[in-house]
Amino acid sequence: MDLMIPQIDGYEMALLLEQQHAEVKIMILSVNTAVDMTYNLIEKTGIKGYLPKSSNKHILWEVTRSVHKHNIFIHEAILKADTIPRALDIVQLICKGLSNK
């Protein structure tokens, strides 16, 4: 899913999908790699993957397969960024399979 979709923002769409169709695995493909926004999406929605649009097709394919198998993938550039400690804790817990709620 692209965050910049017409008529509804991607964050709102992710929240709606999480509420109405929790079985759907959401993967974000975006030009926006702002750390604060990324962690907010991870914490508040059920996204399973977050990749920059600059990712090559091989990475996109592998991540899609991984997310389909119930794994979570967050691009390394986002994980390496300076983050607030709580946001990093949340991502680590989610990656261990715990709920983001």
- Residue-by-residue DSSP string for the chain: --SS-TTS-HHHHHHHHHHH-TTS-EEEEES---HHHHHHHHHHS-EEEEEETTS-HHHHHHHHHHHHTT--EE-HHHHHS---HHHHHHHHHHHTT----
Q: Is residue 56 part of a domain?
A: yes
Q: Is residue 33 part of a domain?
A: yes
Q: Is residue 100 part of a domain?
A: no
| pLDDT the model gives residue 98 | 64
Residue 83 has pLDDT above 70, yes or no: no
Residue 75 has pLDDT above 70, yes or no: yes
pLDDT digits (tens, 9 = 90+) for 10-53: 778 888 888 898 888 888 887 776 666 676 777 777 788 888 88
Q: Is residue 35 part of a domain?
A: yes
How many domains, in total, are found in the chain? 1
- Give residue 18's domain range: 10-95
| pLDDT the model gives residue 96 | 74
pLDDT band for 78, please (50, 70, 90 cuts). low
Q: Is residue 17 part of a domain?
A: yes
pLDDT digits (tens, 9 = 90+) for 48-72: 888 888 888 998 898 899 888 888 8
| pLDDT the model gives residue 46 | 76
Q: What is the pTM of this model?
A: 0.63
